[in-house]
Structure 1
Amino acid sequence: MYQINTLTNRIKGLKRVKFSEHGIKERQHLQEWLANEPKVFGGEDLLIIQKEFSGFNDTNERLDLLALDKFGNIVVIENKLDDTGKNVTWQALKYASYCATLKKENIKSIFQDYLNKQGENDIAENVLAEFYDLEYDEILHLNQGNTQRIIFVANEYRKEVTSTVFWLLNYKVKIQCFKVTPFALDEQMFLTMEQIIPQKDSEDYIIKMADKNYEEIATQEGLKDRHHWRLEFWNKILPMLKGKTSIFQNISPTKDYWLHSTVLGVKYTLVITKSYCSVLVEFTKPNKEDNKKMFDDIFKFKDEIEKSFGNELTWNRSDNKISSQIGFYQTDVDIFNKQDWDKMLQFLSYNIIKLEEATRNPLSKIRSTL
């Protein structure tokens, strides 16, 4: 930081100092500065509602500053002087978790206690109403869900802290680090506050990347859950087919949305999805022409097959694909809704047996043509 002298058209460097060198204390000085000038946090409107808050059950711990932002989010502010120390992130996460349980009336009570200690005659309800430009009874968005924020203030950040903060940002934890730097010029002292994590000009990008990472993680976790559901479902249906048909007798359950049983180059397939389940006969040889010929040959037996099956089937030659298939479908069912499972199990087990019986003789007649 430099001082500009417009008379001499020169600048003079200010000396960067440490708080401890000038007798500045964390609670007595830095905390008071932040509490009385909350716009120092990048110009954001924050309402300080408590200092040295210790209203946690079964613990004597106390956080430095407690605030609300314009969106009704609780903001935990932890300030350190010259060094963050190693454990400040863990400390702040604990405080945020404690504050997650605070309700609207808790917040009002905490704030009123703060106003009383400050010697102010204000009523917490009135100040909150003015801050949110609403009637107090209309303020319904205080501390909803996992919306708590964390702000760190320190002169120096250890790598253990910055590494953890970047990791937490990837998990959409709302966290900021401000670097507070004291300077001296003769008998005067100056202070700068700079948001260093995430850097202001890249904050939107980092938040979007965190959203993307979180979405990808959630998708991966969702896929794992889906795998478990499918595996459980296939484990239920295979015993229902045991001894009742020649297919699916030596098949193991899988995590996939389909289950195959192949007989002489023809696949009998069970399919389970979020919107339907189905039984299929599929022609999936490597040679497209073989599949189309087999489909065309068996199509000649369409009436006979559907009469034996007891229902009309869906015949998909699929000219643009290598494979072809014959199918029967049950719609309005969801594999991820266990209330639909009984319906799906009955549909699939009954109709795959019927489909194999109905196609057995026609398939034996046409196989000799390939």
Structure 2
Amino acid sequence: MPLYEMTPDAFHPLSQSSFADLKVRERDDLQRLLRTQIDVLGDDLYVLSEEFGDWDDSRRRIDLLAIDPQANLVVIELKRTNDGGHMELQAIRYASMVSAMTFSRAEQIHGEFLTRIGVPAEEARTRMLTFLGWEEPDEEAFAPDVRIVLVSEDFGKELTTAVLWLRERDIDIRCVRLRPYQDGEKRLIDVQQIIPLPEANEYQVQHREKEQVGRKKRAERYDVRLKFWAGLIAIARSRKTRHANIKPGSHSWLGASSGIRGLGLNYAIVQEYGIAELYIDRGEATENKRIFDQLHAHKDEIEKAFGGPLSWERLDTKRACRIKHVIERGGYRSPESQWPEIQSEMVETMTKLEAALKPGLASLGF
């Protein structure tokens, strides 16, 4: 959107320009001004250094290195281009390089920076502590994370797509657009944070925190199931059943072939109960239903051999079918001390189910 000058009679659009046309230089103009007026970027930051690059085997330098009130380091990369180039890749490298910086090292480089701009280096510690609101340096609380701020005349689609992807993965990276305009002899700059939009930032933070909780719960669930399946397979191995050599995984089911393609003898586990089943899916619904119906015709004999009723699920709205028995004793959220009993019953149930289905499977003619 253009900028306008409002007069009593009309809105008059200002002429959008570019840093190149205005002969604005990246380091000597933008960086020089921002190092002492970093608040222009709309964030509460304190600049520690500019052109920082004190690492081995690299000539690369961070345009501006700052801290925020939470003592996070902030890597600020500047471009005067209209697409940002590949600045997000540079910034990620820099962020990793400074991630282990200590307060004492930050104090040292800040002292060197102050000296270059005509301020006594001895003020470095006091200035940093005042900004952070600390009485004494706290190495453990310093630099818990590294944030990234990208500043450019504009940003290309590839860069913004990458930034949004990084943000979804909990990398605090932002894009601030400096759009130049010319009004006669005046040079005007429209400063806008475009990623994340300020009004959406709180929502995105809450959403990201919710996602973090969700990922943590999923990871915990996967770990629990993996441990549960490992115990069940150990029992299957001791009894030399069909699942003895199956590798445990973290999914909700564990399967082995019945000896017929597309007919699997599967275990399934949820929080409250377990399942032993024959899962029928040879890739084509008509054939699956035919096999199910042929087995169902021998329902009484199969259930008598099994020793109790089974759940016969033709699943007419789906491609596959299943014949199953639910083990009500418990699931993977049951106390771990109860797992051996649950696992043992599941293995016993599968053994009985396989034996009961054996004549019917043989009669299919595969």
Identify the TM-score tier after normalising by the shorter chain: 0.5 to 0.7
Answer with 1 or 2: which has the greater Rg.
Answer: 1
- What is the letter of the counterpart of residue 127 of structure 2? V
- Write out per-residue CA displacement over residues 286-332 of structure 1, whole angstroms, 9 at most, x where no aligned residue: 49xxxxxxxxxxxxxxxxxxxxxxxxxxxxxxxxxxx9988699x99
**Residue of structure 2 equivalent to 1:235:** 233
- What is the letter of the counterpart of residue 109 of structure 1? Q
Classify 1:108/1:240 alpha carbon distance in 2 versus 1 (closer, same or farther; 3 Å).
same
The 3-state SS of whatever aligns with 1:156 is: coil
Classify 1:213/1:10 alpha carbon distance in 2 versus 1 (closer, same or farther; 3 Å).
same
Quote the RMSD (CA, aligned, Å). 4.2
Classify 1:216/1:325 alpha carbon distance in 2 versus 1 (closer, same or farther; 3 Å).
closer
- What is the letter of the counterpart of residue 4 of structure 2? Y
**Residue of structure 2 equivalent to 1:161:** 159
Q: Distance in 1 between matches of 2:181 and 2:235?
A: 74
Q: Distance in 1 between matches of 2:56 and 2:196?
A: 32
Q: Distance in 1 between matches of 2:242 and 2:21?
A: 79
Q: How many residues align?
A: 294
Q: Distance in 1 between matches of 2:30 and 2:207?
A: 33
Whether the 8 Å CA contact 2:168–2:208 is kept in 1: the answer is: yes
TM-superposed deviation, 1:114? 1.1
- What is the letter of the counterpart of residue 112 of structure 2? D
TM-superposed deviation, 1:128? 1.3
Whether the 8 Å CA contact 2:91–2:148 is kept in 1: the answer is: yes
Is 1:95 the equivalent of 2:94?
yes
**Residue of structure 1 equivalent to 2:28:** 28
TM-superposed deviation, 1:236? 2.2
Picking from 192, 195, 205, the partner of 1:194 is 192
TM-score normalised per structure 2: 0.66
- Write out per-residue CA displacement over residues 125-157 of structure 1, whole angstroms, 9 at most, x where no aligned residue: 11111112221235752111xx21111111121
Paired residues for 1:102-251 under 5 Å: 102-121=101-120, 122-138=122-138, 140-144=140-144, 147-242=145-240, 249-251=241-243
Whether the 8 Å CA contact 1:126–1:136 is kept in 2: the answer is: no
- What is the letter of the counterpart of residue 196 of structure 1? I
Classify 1:134/1:3 alpha carbon distance in 2 versus 1 (closer, same or farther; 3 Å).
same
Classify 1:187/1:258 alpha carbon distance in 2 versus 1 (closer, same or farther; 3 Å).
closer
**Residue of structure 2 equivalent to 1:57:** 56
- What is the letter of the counterpart of residue 102 of structure 2? K
TM-score normalised per structure 1: 0.66
Classify 1:193/1:206 alpha carbon distance in 2 versus 1 (closer, same or farther; 3 Å).
same
TM-superposed deviation, 1:62? 0.7
TM-superposed deviation, 1:178? 0.8
The 3-state SS of whatever aligns with 2:101 is: coil
Whether the 8 Å CA contact 2:271–2:330 is kept in 1: the answer is: no
Whether the 8 Å CA contact 2:64–2:76 is kept in 1: the answer is: yes
Q: Distance in 2 between matches of 1:325 and 1:276?
A: 6
Q: Distance in 1 between matches of 2:326 and 2:171?
A: 50
Q: Distance in 1 between matches of 2:147 and 2:77?
A: 11
Q: Distance in 2 between matches of 1:332 and 1:106?
A: 51
Whether the 8 Å CA contact 1:83–1:157 is kept in 2: the answer is: yes
Q: Distance in 1 between matches of 2:327 and 2:195?
A: 56
Paired residues for 1:324-363 under 5 Å: 334=336
Q: Distance in 2 between matches of 1:324 and 1:223?
A: 21
**Residue of structure 1 equivalent to 2:292:** none
**Residue of structure 2 equivalent to 1:74:** 73
Is 1:39 the equivalent of 2:39?
yes
The 3-state SS of whatever aligns with 2:82 is: coil
The 3-state SS of whatever aligns with 2:142 is: coil
Q: Distance in 1 between matches of 2:330 and 2:156?
A: 63
- What is the letter of the counterpart of residue 179 of structure 1? R
The 3-state SS of whatever aligns with 1:172 is: coil
Q: Distance in 1 between matches of 2:329 and 2:227?
A: 24
Classify 1:156/1:237 alpha carbon distance in 2 versus 1 (closer, same or farther; 3 Å).
same
- Write out per-residue CA displacement over residues 210-254 of structure 1, whole angstroms, 9 at most, x where no aligned residue: 334444455555554444433333332223334xxxxxx344556
Unpaired runs of 5+ in structure 1? 243-248, 261-269, 288-322, 335-339, 357-370
Choose 62-71 or 33-42, whichever is displaced more: 33-42
The 3-state SS of whatever aligns with 1:113 is: helix
Q: Distance in 2 between matches of 1:185 and 1:328?
A: 75
TM-superposed deviation, 1:81? 0.4
Whether the 8 Å CA contact 1:69–1:75 is kept in 2: the answer is: yes
**Residue of structure 2 equivalent to 1:366:** none
